Amino acid sequence: MRIVMIGSGYVGLVSGACFADFGHDVICVDKDADKIAKLKAGGIPIYEPGLDDLVVRNAASGRLSFTTDLAGAVTQADVVFIGVGTPSRRGDGHADLSYVYGAAREIAAALQGFTVIVTKSTVPVGTGDEVERIIRETNPAAEFAVASNPEFLREGAAIEDFKHPDRIVIGIEDERARGPMEEVYRPLYLNKAPLLFTRRRTSELIKYAANAFLAMKITFINEIADLCEKVGADVQEVSRGIGLDNRIGAKFLHAGPGYGGSCFPKDTLALMKTAQDHDSPIRLIEATVAVNDQRKRAMARKVLTAVGGSVRGRTVAVLGLTFKPNTDDMRDAPSLSIIQALQDAGATIRAYDPEGMAAARPLLKDVHYADSAYDAAEGAHAAVIVTEWDAFRALDLPRLKTIMAQPVLVDLRNVYPPEKVEAEGFRYVSVGRPSDADLAGNVDASPRQAA
Protein backbone atom coordinates (compact mmCIF):
# COMPACT_ATOMS: atom_id res chain seq x y z
CA MET A 1 0.00 0.00 0.00
CA ARG A 2 1.11 3.57 -0.67
CA ILE A 3 0.51 5.48 2.54
CA VAL A 4 0.90 9.17 3.28
CA MET A 5 1.07 10.41 6.88
CA ILE A 6 0.26 14.11 7.27
CA GLY A 7 2.08 15.30 10.38
CA SER A 8 5.43 13.97 11.58
CA GLY A 9 4.97 14.51 15.29
CA TYR A 10 4.52 11.78 17.86
CA VAL A 11 1.51 10.04 16.32
CA GLY A 12 2.52 10.55 12.70
CA LEU A 13 6.16 9.54 13.00
CA VAL A 14 5.56 6.45 15.14
CA SER A 15 2.65 5.31 12.96
CA GLY A 16 4.46 6.04 9.71
CA ALA A 17 7.61 4.20 10.79
CA CYS A 18 5.61 1.17 11.96
CA PHE A 19 3.57 1.04 8.73
CA ALA A 20 6.83 1.12 6.78
CA ASP A 21 8.18 -1.68 8.95
CA PHE A 22 5.10 -3.70 7.93
CA GLY A 23 6.27 -3.38 4.32
CA HIS A 24 4.12 -0.48 3.12
CA ASP A 25 5.58 2.48 1.22
CA VAL A 26 5.17 5.47 3.52
CA ILE A 27 5.75 9.19 3.03
CA CYS A 28 5.64 11.38 6.14
CA VAL A 29 4.70 15.00 5.42
CA ASP A 30 5.26 18.01 7.63
CA LYS A 31 5.22 21.78 7.12
CA ASP A 32 8.24 22.17 9.41
CA ALA A 33 11.16 22.17 6.97
CA ASP A 34 13.74 21.91 9.76
CA LYS A 35 12.02 18.80 11.16
CA ILE A 36 11.92 17.17 7.73
CA ALA A 37 15.59 18.01 7.12
CA LYS A 38 16.49 16.48 10.48
CA LEU A 39 14.52 13.31 9.70
CA LYS A 40 16.15 13.00 6.29
CA ALA A 41 19.54 13.25 8.00
CA GLY A 42 18.63 10.44 10.41
CA GLY A 43 17.74 12.63 13.38
CA ILE A 44 14.66 12.06 15.53
CA PRO A 45 12.77 15.10 16.85
CA ILE A 46 11.19 13.22 19.78
CA TYR A 47 12.41 10.67 22.29
CA GLU A 48 10.71 7.29 22.07
CA PRO A 49 12.60 4.06 22.84
CA GLY A 50 13.45 2.16 19.65
CA LEU A 51 12.08 4.80 17.27
CA ASP A 52 15.46 6.01 16.02
CA ASP A 53 16.44 2.52 14.86
CA LEU A 54 13.02 1.93 13.27
CA VAL A 55 13.14 5.19 11.31
CA VAL A 56 16.73 4.83 10.14
CA ARG A 57 16.29 1.20 9.09
CA ASN A 58 13.12 1.79 7.08
CA ALA A 59 14.43 4.99 5.53
CA ALA A 60 17.53 3.08 4.38
CA SER A 61 15.30 0.41 2.84
CA GLY A 62 13.43 3.05 0.82
CA ARG A 63 10.06 2.29 2.41
CA LEU A 64 10.01 5.45 4.55
CA SER A 65 10.63 8.95 3.25
CA PHE A 66 10.01 12.53 4.37
CA THR A 67 8.85 15.64 2.55
CA THR A 68 7.24 19.06 2.89
CA ASP A 69 5.45 18.55 -0.46
CA LEU A 70 1.97 17.44 0.58
CA ALA A 71 0.44 17.62 -2.88
CA GLY A 72 3.19 15.56 -4.49
CA ALA A 73 2.84 12.86 -1.85
CA VAL A 74 -0.98 12.67 -1.85
CA THR A 75 -1.27 12.39 -5.62
CA GLN A 76 0.00 8.80 -5.63
CA ALA A 77 -1.46 7.63 -2.29
CA ASP A 78 -3.92 4.83 -1.64
CA VAL A 79 -4.51 5.91 1.95
CA VAL A 80 -3.80 9.31 3.53
CA PHE A 81 -3.68 9.58 7.32
CA ILE A 82 -4.16 12.90 9.09
CA GLY A 83 -1.94 12.81 12.17
CA VAL A 84 -1.61 16.49 13.05
CA GLY A 85 -1.99 18.01 16.51
CA THR A 86 -5.35 18.73 18.13
CA PRO A 87 -4.38 20.78 21.22
CA SER A 88 -6.88 22.31 23.58
CA ARG A 89 -8.19 25.53 22.09
CA ARG A 90 -7.14 28.58 24.04
CA GLY A 91 -10.00 30.03 26.03
CA ASP A 92 -12.68 27.34 25.94
CA GLY A 93 -11.01 23.92 26.21
CA HIS A 94 -12.43 22.52 22.98
CA ALA A 95 -10.06 20.63 20.68
CA ASP A 96 -8.41 22.94 18.15
CA LEU A 97 -9.21 21.34 14.79
CA SER A 98 -7.67 24.02 12.59
CA TYR A 99 -4.72 21.80 11.65
CA VAL A 100 -7.02 18.90 10.78
CA TYR A 101 -9.27 21.04 8.60
CA GLY A 102 -6.30 22.77 6.98
CA ALA A 103 -4.82 19.38 6.07
CA ALA A 104 -8.20 18.28 4.64
CA ARG A 105 -8.29 21.27 2.28
CA GLU A 106 -4.75 20.63 1.04
CA ILE A 107 -5.43 16.92 0.59
CA ALA A 108 -8.62 17.64 -1.35
CA ALA A 109 -6.80 19.79 -3.87
CA ALA A 110 -4.26 17.03 -4.59
CA LEU A 111 -6.52 13.94 -4.84
CA GLN A 112 -6.28 11.82 -8.00
CA GLY A 113 -8.22 8.58 -8.13
CA PHE A 114 -10.04 6.91 -5.26
CA THR A 115 -8.30 7.57 -1.94
CA VAL A 116 -9.18 6.79 1.67
CA ILE A 117 -8.66 9.75 4.00
CA VAL A 118 -8.21 8.69 7.63
CA THR A 119 -8.27 10.81 10.77
CA LYS A 120 -5.54 9.36 13.00
CA SER A 121 -5.50 12.43 15.25
CA THR A 122 -7.72 12.41 18.32
CA VAL A 123 -10.79 14.37 17.25
CA PRO A 124 -14.26 15.07 18.68
CA VAL A 125 -17.38 13.32 17.46
CA GLY A 126 -18.44 14.64 14.07
CA THR A 127 -14.99 15.71 12.87
CA GLY A 128 -15.01 13.10 10.13
CA ASP A 129 -18.28 14.53 8.83
CA GLU A 130 -16.71 17.99 8.59
CA VAL A 131 -13.55 16.62 6.94
CA GLU A 132 -15.74 14.95 4.32
CA ARG A 133 -17.71 18.17 3.77
CA ILE A 134 -14.51 20.20 3.35
CA ILE A 135 -13.07 17.79 0.81
CA ARG A 136 -16.29 17.68 -1.22
CA GLU A 137 -16.56 21.46 -1.17
CA THR A 138 -12.90 21.94 -2.16
CA ASN A 139 -12.84 19.27 -4.87
CA PRO A 140 -16.37 18.20 -5.96
CA ALA A 141 -14.95 15.72 -8.49
CA ALA A 142 -12.80 13.83 -5.96
CA GLU A 143 -13.31 10.11 -5.41
CA PHE A 144 -12.67 9.39 -1.73
CA ALA A 145 -13.94 8.00 1.54
CA VAL A 146 -13.27 9.38 5.02
CA ALA A 147 -12.54 6.97 7.87
CA SER A 148 -11.65 7.28 11.55
CA ASN A 149 -8.76 5.25 12.99
CA PRO A 150 -7.78 6.58 16.42
CA GLU A 151 -4.39 5.75 17.87
CA PHE A 152 -3.94 4.01 21.23
CA LEU A 153 -0.23 4.51 21.85
CA ARG A 154 1.40 4.89 25.25
CA GLU A 155 4.38 7.18 25.19
CA GLY A 156 7.44 5.14 26.08
CA ALA A 157 5.87 1.94 24.69
CA ALA A 158 4.41 3.21 21.42
CA ILE A 159 6.11 0.79 19.04
CA GLU A 160 5.08 -2.23 21.08
CA ASP A 161 1.53 -0.87 21.29
CA PHE A 162 1.37 -0.28 17.54
CA LYS A 163 2.65 -3.74 16.63
CA HIS A 164 0.78 -5.64 19.34
CA PRO A 165 -2.43 -3.64 19.84
CA ASP A 166 -5.31 -4.60 22.09
CA ARG A 167 -7.62 -3.56 19.26
CA ILE A 168 -7.70 -1.55 16.04
CA VAL A 169 -10.75 0.67 15.79
CA ILE A 170 -11.86 1.80 12.33
CA GLY A 171 -14.93 3.92 11.75
CA ILE A 172 -16.39 4.09 8.24
CA GLU A 173 -19.51 5.37 6.50
CA ASP A 174 -18.50 4.26 3.00
CA GLU A 175 -17.93 0.52 2.52
CA ARG A 176 -15.29 1.28 -0.11
CA ALA A 177 -12.95 2.19 2.75
CA ARG A 178 -13.13 -1.25 4.35
CA GLY A 179 -10.88 -3.11 1.89
CA PRO A 180 -8.00 -0.59 1.91
CA MET A 181 -8.08 -0.33 5.71
CA GLU A 182 -8.03 -4.11 6.08
CA GLU A 183 -5.02 -4.20 3.75
CA VAL A 184 -3.22 -1.50 5.76
CA TYR A 185 -3.44 -3.64 8.89
CA ARG A 186 -3.18 -7.05 7.23
CA PRO A 187 0.42 -7.54 8.50
CA LEU A 188 -1.01 -7.71 12.03
CA TYR A 189 -3.13 -10.73 11.12
CA LEU A 190 -0.66 -13.19 12.70
CA ASN A 191 -0.81 -11.24 15.96
CA LYS A 192 -4.59 -11.74 15.93
CA ALA A 193 -5.20 -8.10 16.68
CA PRO A 194 -8.97 -7.58 16.65
CA LEU A 195 -10.12 -5.23 13.89
CA LEU A 196 -13.23 -3.45 15.14
CA PHE A 197 -15.23 -1.74 12.39
CA THR A 198 -17.84 0.75 13.58
CA ARG A 199 -19.66 3.81 12.32
CA ARG A 200 -17.37 6.84 12.10
CA ARG A 201 -18.82 8.81 14.99
CA THR A 202 -18.68 5.74 17.23
CA SER A 203 -14.99 5.33 16.46
CA GLU A 204 -14.31 8.97 17.33
CA LEU A 205 -16.09 8.62 20.67
CA ILE A 206 -14.32 5.35 21.55
CA LYS A 207 -11.00 7.15 21.70
CA TYR A 208 -12.24 9.90 24.00
CA ALA A 209 -14.19 7.50 26.19
CA ALA A 210 -11.16 5.22 26.63
CA ASN A 211 -8.82 8.04 27.65
CA ALA A 212 -11.39 9.61 29.94
CA PHE A 213 -12.03 6.30 31.68
CA LEU A 214 -8.30 5.75 32.31
CA ALA A 215 -7.90 9.31 33.58
CA MET A 216 -10.85 8.73 35.90
CA LYS A 217 -9.26 5.52 37.18
CA ILE A 218 -6.03 7.37 38.01
CA THR A 219 -7.95 10.12 39.76
CA PHE A 220 -9.99 7.59 41.74
CA ILE A 221 -6.91 5.89 43.20
CA ASN A 222 -5.33 9.27 43.97
CA GLU A 223 -8.35 10.22 46.07
CA ILE A 224 -8.24 6.81 47.75
CA ALA A 225 -4.57 7.54 48.51
CA ASP A 226 -5.57 10.73 50.30
CA LEU A 227 -8.03 8.75 52.40
CA CYS A 228 -5.35 6.14 53.14
CA GLU A 229 -3.12 8.85 54.57
CA LYS A 230 -5.90 9.99 56.89
CA VAL A 231 -6.80 6.54 58.22
CA GLY A 232 -3.42 4.81 58.20
CA ALA A 233 -4.03 2.43 55.29
CA ASP A 234 -1.62 1.56 52.45
CA VAL A 235 -2.83 2.58 49.00
CA GLN A 236 -0.52 0.10 47.25
CA GLU A 237 -2.16 -2.77 49.08
CA VAL A 238 -5.58 -1.28 48.40
CA SER A 239 -4.70 -1.06 44.71
CA ARG A 240 -3.56 -4.65 44.65
CA GLY A 241 -6.62 -5.77 46.56
CA ILE A 242 -9.06 -4.20 44.13
CA GLY A 243 -6.91 -4.73 41.03
CA LEU A 244 -6.99 -8.50 41.46
CA ASP A 245 -10.70 -8.28 40.70
CA ASN A 246 -10.88 -9.07 36.97
CA ARG A 247 -13.74 -6.65 36.58
CA ILE A 248 -11.45 -3.80 37.67
CA GLY A 249 -7.90 -4.79 36.70
CA ALA A 250 -4.58 -3.60 38.11
CA LYS A 251 -3.54 -1.09 35.44
CA PHE A 252 -3.80 2.65 36.08
CA LEU A 253 -4.23 2.12 39.82
CA HIS A 254 -0.89 3.63 40.85
CA ALA A 255 -1.26 6.64 43.12
CA GLY A 256 0.84 9.67 42.29
CA PRO A 257 0.88 13.41 41.62
CA GLY A 258 -1.84 13.34 38.95
CA TYR A 259 -1.98 12.60 35.24
CA GLY A 260 -0.38 14.73 32.53
CA GLY A 261 0.93 14.29 29.00
CA SER A 262 -0.34 14.88 25.52
CA CYS A 263 -3.61 12.94 25.78
CA PHE A 264 -5.43 12.72 29.10
CA PRO A 265 -5.58 16.44 30.00
CA LYS A 266 -6.76 17.68 26.60
CA ASP A 267 -8.97 14.67 25.83
CA THR A 268 -10.87 14.75 29.13
CA LEU A 269 -11.39 18.49 28.67
CA ALA A 270 -12.55 18.07 25.05
CA LEU A 271 -14.97 15.26 25.95
CA MET A 272 -16.33 17.34 28.82
CA LYS A 273 -16.92 20.30 26.49
CA THR A 274 -18.51 18.12 23.79
CA ALA A 275 -20.88 16.58 26.33
CA GLN A 276 -21.86 20.00 27.66
CA ASP A 277 -22.48 21.30 24.12
CA HIS A 278 -24.85 18.39 23.49
CA ASP A 279 -26.68 18.97 26.78
CA SER A 280 -25.43 15.66 28.13
CA PRO A 281 -22.83 16.60 30.77
CA ILE A 282 -20.56 13.85 32.10
CA ARG A 283 -20.27 14.73 35.77
CA LEU A 284 -17.67 12.05 36.53
CA ILE A 285 -15.30 13.51 33.93
CA GLU A 286 -15.95 17.05 35.13
CA ALA A 287 -14.95 15.95 38.64
CA THR A 288 -11.92 14.08 37.27
CA VAL A 289 -10.62 17.22 35.54
CA ALA A 290 -11.14 19.39 38.62
CA VAL A 291 -9.55 16.92 41.06
CA ASN A 292 -6.52 16.34 38.86
CA ASP A 293 -5.88 20.06 38.41
CA GLN A 294 -5.97 20.61 42.16
CA ARG A 295 -3.82 17.59 42.97
CA LYS A 296 -0.61 18.79 41.33
CA ARG A 297 -0.17 21.86 43.51
CA ALA A 298 -1.30 19.80 46.51
CA MET A 299 1.87 17.74 46.03
CA ALA A 300 3.92 20.88 46.67
CA ARG A 301 2.16 21.26 50.02
CA LYS A 302 3.29 17.71 50.81
CA VAL A 303 6.88 18.86 50.29
CA LEU A 304 6.37 21.89 52.53
CA THR A 305 5.02 19.69 55.31
CA ALA A 306 7.94 17.27 54.97
CA VAL A 307 10.53 19.99 55.57
CA GLY A 308 8.72 21.54 58.51
CA GLY A 309 6.21 23.89 56.91
CA SER A 310 8.37 26.26 54.89
CA VAL A 311 10.80 26.09 51.97
CA ARG A 312 11.60 29.79 51.88
CA GLY A 313 15.33 30.19 51.40
CA ARG A 314 15.76 26.42 51.02
CA THR A 315 16.75 24.23 48.10
CA VAL A 316 14.54 21.44 46.72
CA ALA A 317 15.90 18.80 44.33
CA VAL A 318 13.29 17.70 41.80
CA LEU A 319 14.03 14.30 40.28
CA GLY A 320 12.06 13.81 37.08
CA LEU A 321 10.35 16.46 34.98
CA THR A 322 8.50 14.63 32.19
CA PHE A 323 4.94 13.50 32.79
CA LYS A 324 6.07 9.85 32.72
CA PRO A 325 9.34 7.95 32.17
CA ASN A 326 10.75 6.97 28.76
CA THR A 327 9.61 10.14 27.03
CA ASP A 328 10.77 13.75 26.73
CA ASP A 329 7.19 15.03 26.76
CA MET A 330 6.58 17.90 29.16
CA ARG A 331 2.98 18.62 28.19
CA ASP A 332 0.88 19.13 31.34
CA ALA A 333 3.55 17.36 33.39
CA PRO A 334 2.86 17.47 37.16
CA SER A 335 6.38 18.84 37.66
CA LEU A 336 5.32 22.14 36.09
CA SER A 337 2.70 22.89 38.75
CA ILE A 338 4.76 21.42 41.59
CA ILE A 339 7.85 23.49 40.78
CA GLN A 340 5.84 26.66 40.28
CA ALA A 341 4.15 26.18 43.66
CA LEU A 342 7.49 25.53 45.38
CA GLN A 343 9.00 28.61 43.77
CA ASP A 344 5.97 30.63 44.85
CA ALA A 345 6.72 29.44 48.39
CA GLY A 346 10.30 30.70 48.13
CA ALA A 347 12.24 27.56 47.24
CA THR A 348 15.30 27.32 45.01
CA ILE A 349 14.89 24.44 42.55
CA ARG A 350 17.59 22.11 41.30
CA ALA A 351 16.22 19.59 38.78
CA TYR A 352 17.36 16.57 36.82
CA ASP A 353 15.60 14.45 34.19
CA PRO A 354 17.29 11.86 31.95
CA GLU A 355 15.54 13.06 28.77
CA GLY A 356 13.25 16.00 29.48
CA MET A 357 15.47 18.94 30.40
CA ALA A 358 15.73 20.42 26.90
CA ALA A 359 11.94 20.47 26.62
CA ALA A 360 11.61 21.78 30.18
CA ARG A 361 13.90 24.81 29.84
CA PRO A 362 11.43 27.03 27.94
CA LEU A 363 8.66 26.12 30.41
CA LEU A 364 10.43 26.41 33.76
CA LYS A 365 12.27 29.59 34.64
CA ASP A 366 14.87 30.13 37.38
CA VAL A 367 15.59 26.41 37.68
CA HIS A 368 19.12 25.03 37.94
CA TYR A 369 19.38 21.97 35.68
CA ALA A 370 21.74 19.38 37.11
CA ASP A 371 23.86 16.68 35.47
CA SER A 372 22.60 13.83 37.66
CA ALA A 373 20.29 13.05 40.54
CA TYR A 374 23.18 13.47 42.96
CA ASP A 375 24.18 16.81 41.45
CA ALA A 376 20.59 17.99 41.89
CA ALA A 377 20.54 16.81 45.52
CA GLU A 378 23.78 18.55 46.48
CA GLY A 379 22.95 20.87 49.38
CA ALA A 380 19.19 20.28 49.05
CA HIS A 381 16.83 20.35 52.01
CA ALA A 382 14.52 17.86 50.30
CA ALA A 383 14.65 15.58 47.26
CA VAL A 384 11.36 14.96 45.45
CA ILE A 385 10.82 12.05 43.06
CA VAL A 386 8.24 13.35 40.58
CA THR A 387 8.79 10.93 37.66
CA GLU A 388 9.60 7.25 38.21
CA TRP A 389 12.57 6.95 35.84
CA ASP A 390 14.63 3.77 36.32
CA ALA A 391 17.58 6.01 37.22
CA PHE A 392 15.77 6.96 40.45
CA ARG A 393 14.73 3.47 41.53
CA ALA A 394 18.03 2.46 43.10
CA LEU A 395 19.56 5.67 44.44
CA ASP A 396 22.55 5.32 46.76
CA LEU A 397 20.72 6.48 49.89
CA PRO A 398 23.80 6.78 52.16
CA ARG A 399 25.50 8.93 49.50
CA LEU A 400 22.34 10.99 49.09
CA LYS A 401 22.15 11.63 52.82
CA THR A 402 25.78 12.73 52.92
CA ILE A 403 25.42 15.37 50.22
CA MET A 404 22.02 16.78 51.24
CA ALA A 405 21.62 19.63 53.69
CA GLN A 406 18.66 17.82 55.24
CA PRO A 407 17.74 14.11 54.80
CA VAL A 408 14.21 14.44 53.45
CA LEU A 409 12.94 12.29 50.57
CA VAL A 410 9.47 12.94 49.17
CA ASP A 411 8.53 10.05 46.90
CA LEU A 412 5.48 10.99 44.82
CA ARG A 413 5.63 7.72 42.86
CA ASN A 414 6.03 5.28 45.78
CA VAL A 415 9.25 3.91 44.33
CA TYR A 416 10.76 2.88 47.68
CA PRO A 417 9.61 0.84 50.68
CA PRO A 418 9.23 3.29 53.58
CA GLU A 419 11.16 1.10 56.01
CA LYS A 420 14.19 0.97 53.70
CA VAL A 421 14.48 4.75 53.40
CA GLU A 422 13.73 5.47 57.04
CA ALA A 423 16.38 2.91 58.09
CA GLU A 424 18.94 5.13 56.34
CA GLY A 425 17.97 8.06 58.55
CA PHE A 426 15.67 9.91 56.13
CA ARG A 427 12.40 11.64 56.77
CA TYR A 428 10.42 9.77 54.09
CA VAL A 429 7.08 10.89 52.71
CA SER A 430 5.19 8.98 50.02
CA VAL A 431 1.66 8.96 48.61
CA GLY A 432 -1.12 7.10 50.41
CA ARG A 433 1.16 5.04 52.64
CA PRO A 434 1.83 5.29 56.38
CA SER A 435 5.45 5.63 57.49
CA ASP A 436 6.85 3.87 60.55
CA ALA A 437 6.30 7.12 62.46
CA ASP A 438 2.67 7.17 61.37
CA LEU A 439 2.18 3.61 62.50
CA ALA A 440 3.76 4.51 65.85
CA GLY A 441 0.90 6.87 66.55
CA ASN A 442 1.06 10.01 64.39
CA VAL A 443 -1.96 8.91 62.36
CA ASP A 444 -5.35 8.32 63.89
CA ALA A 445 -6.22 4.97 62.33
CA SER A 446 -9.20 4.28 64.57
CA PRO A 447 -12.65 3.98 62.96
CA ARG A 448 -14.79 7.09 63.18
CA GLN A 449 -17.97 6.61 65.16
CA ALA A 450 -21.17 8.26 64.17
CA ALA A 451 -22.36 10.89 66.60
Catalytic residue list: 263
SS3 for 434? coil
d(C-alpha 217, C-alpha 21), whole Å: 34
What strands lie across the sheet with 348-352, from one edge to the other? 367-369, 348-352, 315-319, 382-385, 408-411, 427-429
Q: What angle, 0 to 180 degrees and rounded to 10, lies between the N-to-C axes of helices 264-277 and 283-306?
A: 140
Residue 231 is which amino acid? V
DSSP symbol at 31: S
What is the phi/psi pair of residue 28, to 5°? -95, 130
Q: Cα 167 to chain center, whole Å?
A: 19
SS3 for 144? strand
SS3 for 54? helix
Indicate the length of the chain as a whole number: 451
Beta strand 25-29 pairing with 2-6: parallel
